[in-house]
Structure 1
Amino acid sequence: MRYFFNNHNDNGYMFLYTVGYEETQPGHAYGPTTRSGYMLHYVHSGSGTFRSGGKRYELKKGDFFFIEPQEIVSYQADDRHPWTYYWIGFKGSLVTEYLMRTAISKDNPVFSTKNGGDLIKEKISEMIEISFISEDNDLLLNARLMEILFYLSQAFPAAATAQSSSNRLFTQALQIMRNNYDSAIQIGDIADSLAIDRTYLHRIFKQEMNVSPKEYLTGIRISHAKELLLQTDWPVKVIAQSVGFDDPQRFSHAFKQREQLTPNQYRRNKQQEKV
């Protein structure tokens, strides 16, 4: 018996693309193969073997196994007590970022309910129940996925790494830029909020990114402006304000410096490419 659900409401940030379960036959094998996204399986009953990264894992009821995208894996049900397992498949840039907070990876792909997986098992069961309700339930499914990622980070946290003072300041500056690019925040404001000299902030960015903080912040703003130019019909003045430029002419100048086109030229060229 097999059930699976494919979610058609996808996005590039966080997307639960499949959920399901399978009662396998004795000796049933899958792979060697790769998967397009991350996958997490929970062994509900029985036992089987999982192979990944040149290692073999004997799994039983209560165990989980994790698969990373494009990693060659295979798994096989036991000949006498074939397993039944649940699975979820998920993708997205936020998923990748949040998984880095956990110790779960292709090099550490197996864990069990005995050491913190009970809540994760419950959330996977809820996902299967939700998938029966309707096809337009991606918000509920993604909410459960967020909970699973949270429980993974709490039960299996990534090993703490020493971080220098300059690295911490660099990370904090990046967060401020990404969270406030749509305001008129300046580099001096960022330096003040971190209680450091603007020259020191400049040195940190040159060391870490080989660009100045001003160049990096402008790059974030122009990147978001390009999205707005393609996804909306807003006037350039509105887009300029939406990415932190009070002066539309200054925005157009900065945009042309980076793209060799004015904002309006960029929009027209991209629209013509679609025709």
Structure 2
Amino acid sequence: MYHTWMRFFTPGPAHHRLGLVCLGVGLQHGTLPTVGPRTLDHHVAVVVSTGRGWFRTPDGRRTAVTAPALLWLTPGVPHHYGPDPDTGWDEAFVDFTGPTADTYTELGYIEPHRPVVALSDAGAARATVGRIVRAARRGNPLLEVETSAAVHELLVTLRRARADTAPDGEQVLQALARDACKPLTVADHATRHGMTPAELRTAVRRGAGCSPKDYLLGIRLGHAKELLAATELPVAAVARRVGYDDPAYFSRLFTRRVGMAPVRFREQQAHTVPGGWSDQVPDPDDPPIIGRTPTG
């Protein structure tokens, strides 16, 4: 005995230009029938909330699936899976496609080589799928754009929910962010964490989807933008504040990555205020309000 609800969409050409579109969504539970063997031309994320079952890879290996878990079904790759006939399972699935999926794969959010991924919790992912379900009501004029945005959110949520996201990996990223503007090389950072450069590259790639160099550069340039926009510090002083002793090198690097010179960025974004900007992230549920004294 099983129960199923599903709905499928046909986004138009303009919606496909968003880069990532939702093709369908479904909620199912019980002793569902076996799926496949079959091959699809698009991606599907299957979130198993309760129960257990199995997944057979193209090479014939059978992998146990125990909730909470994620099944990645990727284009052109045969798959075959199903719940245990004695227990069944509770699943939600989202079909999606678009060239942006390739970027998410490159960044490690989608893992074609690992079709079964253990999750620490499926609640947040199910909540995101729920938003797609609510957007799927008949006659919703914002359907394609709402569901496209939710697929982006789902991929981020699933990335955060991976059970193998080690706490020490998060600590390494946080420490790199804290020390990003110090004049340290990647090898220096690795040594500070008792790691080889290769181990640091693996940890950062796993955690942030990029190399340590790019991770540090993103933080440095972000801070440089804040200093350019919020202060009147000379460009050379900004360069030193974010870890570059050579202001000419900093300017070339900034221009190449940002698309404009530091001086031009300042002309566009300058918002110098008495006292400077706050480093404290505001609480979205209790944002600052004019006329009220901050409590933190």
User: TM-score, normalising length from structure 1?
Assistant: 0.53
Partner of 1:25: 31
Partner of 2:11: 9
Q: How many pairs align?
A: 174
1:40 matched to 2:45? The reply is: yes
Show the 5 A alignment for 1:119-198: 119-132=124-137, 134-136=139-141, 137-154=143-160, 158-159=205-206, 195=252
Report the identity percentage. 15
- Whole-angstrom CA distance in 1 between matches of 2:86 and 2:44: 26
Query: Runs of 5+ in structure 2 lacking a partner?
Result: 163-203, 218-248, 257-296
Provide the aligned C-alpha RMSD in A: 3.3
- Whole-angstrom CA distance in 2 between matches of 1:102 and 1:155: 13
- Whole-angstrom CA distance in 1 between matches of 2:152 and 2:104: 9
Partner of 1:52: 57
Identify which of 55, 65, 73 aligns with 2:71.
65
Contact 1:100–1:158 (Cα < 8 Å) also in 2: no
- Whole-angstrom CA distance in 2 between matches of 1:79 and 1:161: 41
Q: Look up the equivalent residue of 2:252 and give its one-letter code.
A: A
Contact 1:66–1:106 (Cα < 8 Å) also in 2: yes
- Whole-angstrom CA distance in 2 between matches of 1:108 and 1:66: 8
Partner of 1:107: 113
Q: State the SS of the aligned residue for 2:137.
A: helix
Show the 5 A alignment for 1:255-266: none
Cα distance, 1:47 vs structure 2:
2.1
Contact 2:27–2:91 (Cα < 8 Å) also in 1: yes
Cα distance, 1:158 vs structure 2:
4.5
- Whole-angstrom CA distance in 2 between matches of 1:122 and 1:109: 22
Cα distance, 1:194 vs structure 2:
6.6
Contact 1:43–1:85 (Cα < 8 Å) also in 2: yes
Q: Look up the equivalent residue of 1:62 and give its one-letter code.
A: P
- By percentage of residues, which structure has more helix? 1
- CA deviations 1:33-75 (Å, max 9, x no partner) are 1111110111133322112243322223321111110100001
- Whole-angstrom CA distance in 1 between matches of 2:145 and 2:56: 33
Q: Look up the equivalent residue of 1:195 and give its one-letter code.
A: R
Contact 1:38–1:69 (Cα < 8 Å) also in 2: yes
- CA deviations 1:2-23 (Å, max 9, x no partner) are 2211112241521110111223
State the 4+ residue runs in structure 1 displaced beyond 6 angstroms: none
Cα separation, partners in 2 of 1:122 and 1:8, compared to 1, 3 Å: same
Q: State the SS of the aligned residue for 2:114.
A: coil
Cα separation, partners in 2 of 1:153 and 1:81, compared to 1, 3 Å: closer
